[in-house]
Amino acid sequence: MKFYTVEIEERREFGAYTLLSYRWPGENIEPGRFVMARAAGYPITLDPFLARPFSFYDFVDGVASLLFEVRGRGTELLDRALGTIEVTAPLGKGFEIGVSGGRAALLGGGIGVVPLKILGRELAARGIAHDVFLGFLDGKTAAVADDFPGAAVATMDGSTGVHGTVLDAAPDLREYPVVYACGPNAMLAAVKGAAGPDGLRQLSVEERMGCGNGSCNGCVVPVDGGYVRSCIEGPVFRAEVLAW
Ligand SMILES: Cc1cc2nc3c(=O)[nH]c(=O)nc-3n(C[C@H](O)[C@H](O)[C@H](O)COP(=O)(O)OP(=O)(O)OC[C@H]3O[C@@H](n4cnc5c(N)ncnc54)[C@H](O)[C@@H]3O)c2cc1C
Ligand code: FES
């Protein structure tokens, strides 16, 4: 897979999360697509050997941004990166937009809020009304909600917004003809159940990925009759396709 060395244009902290932006002169970036990214330069590129997947947070005037939580060595090195990082071109299949009319509900859990920023921007550009619901563990992770004006927020510790899960901050999802969600699988399964089968329901999964280009089978998700690779067929799936 081809990696491009790009200069970091901006670094910002949102509570527990870090935002890194870089100029992307290539194709337009559609909401829900992802990138494999890593800290730049030998020998760092050997440890960890594999780049890590990240959803695009935003794309404005040719500047792409990623927002991430430090979990292990890959994200720790990105967090400390100075000057440049290495990224692939945009990968995977993003959200379907405008295929079904009506108001949309956008739900994000934890770092799963990431693709909702660029998605909300695209919906607004197309004049599609939408409501945003965000769920977090605590006030520190909820800090990024400031970047989603008008969003309803829930925290598990009750320190910000409603006390509970993102579903506790949302009204009856069955009233929305379009529902988009990203977060841990348990949250996505709960959203799928709450939204019901009617309308367009799209879920962005965050399975662990090795290659990001379909060659390792490390990112499979269950579907009726077997498994598919989420880096190729996803990471965004229609809810009814996922067998959970
Ligand atoms: C399509 C996609 C989009 C993603 N978008 C983002 C994003 O925008 N921002 C962000 O912060 N993260 C995102 N992730 C998750 C991110 O890729 C992982 O946090 C990262 O790979 C961890 O790498 P590491 O080397 O820091 O940690 P590792 O050392 O690889 O792992 C540290 C810990 O994190 C856990 N972990 C690693 N990957 C995942 C995962 N996918 N889901 C749950 N737990 C995991 C491991 O089990 C381990 O306990 C996304 C993942 C996918 C597949
Ligand atoms: S990450 Fe390797 S096949 Fe999807």
Q: What is the pLDDT of residues 5-35, one digit of tens each?
A: 999 999 999 999 999 999 999 889 999 999 9
Residue 231 CB less than 6 A away from ligand 2: yes
pLDDT(44) > 80: no
136 within 8 A of 165, measured Cβ to Cβ: no
56 CA to centre of ligand 2 in angstroms: 18
Averaged confidence pLDDT in the chain? 95
Question: Per-residue pLDDT tens for 76-119?
Answer: 999 999 899 999 999 999 999 987 778 999 999 999 999 999 99
Ligand 2 neighbour 219 (Cβ under 6 A): yes
Atom of ligand 1 nearest to the CA of 70: 26
- Give the integer Cα–Cα distance in Å for 68 and 225: 34
Residues 126-170 have pLDDT tens digits of: 999 999 999 999 999 999 999 999 999 999 999 999 999 999 999
SS3 assignment, position 12: strand
Enclosing H/E stretch for 105: strand 104-109
Domains defined for the chain, CATH in brackets:
4-87 (2.40.30.10), 104-241 (3.40.50.80)
Nearest residue by C-alpha to atom 51 in ligand 1:
206
